[in-house]
A and B are shown apart, each in its own frame.
Chain A
Amino acid sequence: MRNKRTNPDFLNGVPELLVLSLLSRRAMHGYELVQAIRRATNEVLEFGEGCVYPTLHRLEADGLLTSSRLSVAGRSRVVYRLSASGRKQLTTTRSAWELVVAAIKQALEGDDDERTVMA
């Protein structure tokens, strides 16, 4: 049985950011969202798809998402959409993420520079 690799701790918060970002584009149900994450990340981020539902439920409980049961392609599905609070949270989290990415990039590039100088 192939087991999904657990993401390292520093990826904490990334699933939430992805969920908020993708749902800011359009409302989706869980399966659609998982497919959207796979496509958006070129399947680089692997995770147990079943774990997306607890994340969705928590974000909903925190008031960042709303859900409603709708008929999609003839089947009843729980569709999630971003709330106003969720949009604000997305802006905040995205800014924080961009800062982290910039800092890591700078650190990595700095490492290259040091090696170049040493050579």
Chain B
Amino acid sequence: MNEPSWLENVRESLARKALPPSYVRRILKELADHVEDLQEDAMGGELDIPGRLGKPEDVAAAASASYRPRGLLRSHSVAPGVVFGLSPLLLLPVAFVAAWTFTAWVLARVVERTEWIDERLDSLRHGGAGVEFFLSCFMSVVTIAIPIVLVSAFYRWLARRSGVASAWGNACAVVLAVVASAPAWVATLSPIPGESRLSVAVLSVEGWLPLRLIQFALPFIVFCLLPWDARTTPESKSST
């Protein structure tokens, strides 16, 4: 069997396996390169291509048994960088805003008046640092920590499911940690009526430092609690 007919037979055998055309093209190209190398090494001598490369149907069977669909993240070299390096910069702030909006909506629904918060703050204005601390912590947990945990768990799941290199997961955790430490709730209770404020400070030194450190650590904690568990190689079904 000469080289073109062997490759043609492999092509026909692969066609019967219903493999994606792009994968068939790839394996045929590599097999053609291999045949070319064999011919160069044989230097014009007799070459038993099926004897060296295997029967076409065996090669096709091995290709079919070994084929794994490649997801978007594995098909494009820049995709992991975009998904795990850049998208957290957008998704985590969106999650913060969504949590803040949801919390404000819930509070408005509960008291039916949005000015309730300001009134309550005024009523607490003599509470001192303890009340300020409690308010900052409560709002941080509800509108910052929970989004951080949920978004980190999502990326951890995505990294594991897509099977990208663990370095992408680590890079994602770093990006999430930096973004996570940016916002902080600041409760300021003023003895002057109407001057008490509950606000969000972003990228400033305001807020309680340990809270920001916890926010920074949360993505790493989530990533550690959900270990990487590198995928194992399944047993080969090919007849190599």
Contacts and interface: CB of A to CB of B under 8 A. Distances in A.
A63 interface: yes
Counting contact residues on chain A (CB < 8 A from B), the size range is 35 or more
B2 interface: no
A53 B233 contact: no
Contacts of A89: 230, 232-233
11 contacts: A15-B240, A30-B30, A48-B52, A48-B54, A50-B59, A51-B239, A54-B65, A58-B233, A63-B163, A78-B30, A84-B165
A-B pairs, top 4 by smallest CB distance, nearest first, are: A48-B54, A61-B68, A54-B66, A50-B53
Interface string A30-45: 1100100000000000
Interface of A: 1-4, 6-7, 12-13, 15-16, 29-31, 34, 47-55, 57-59, 61-64, 75, 77-78, 83-85, 88-89, 92-93
Instruction: Name the residue in B48, B74, B234, B236 with the highest tally of chain A Cβ atoms < 10 Å from its Cβ.
Output: B236
Interface residues of B, number: 45
Contacts of B231: 62-63, 85
Interface of B: 1, 10, 23, 26-27, 30-31, 33-34, 36-38, 48, 50-55, 58-59, 62-63, 65-70, 74, 163-167, 230-236, 238-240
Contact of B68 (A7, A15, A62): A62
Contacts of A4: 51, 54-55, 58
Given A30-B33, A48-B58, A55 B236 contact: yes
A54 B33 contact: no
Contact of B233 (A3, A49, A51, A62): A62
B198 to A, nearest CB: 45
A53 B31 contact: yes
Given A57-B26, A84-B167, A85-B230, 7 more contacts: A50-B10, A51-B238, A54-B238, A58-B68, A61-B74, A63-B74, A85-B166
Contacts of B68: 57-58, 61-62
Nearest to A85: B230
A58 to B, nearest CB: 4
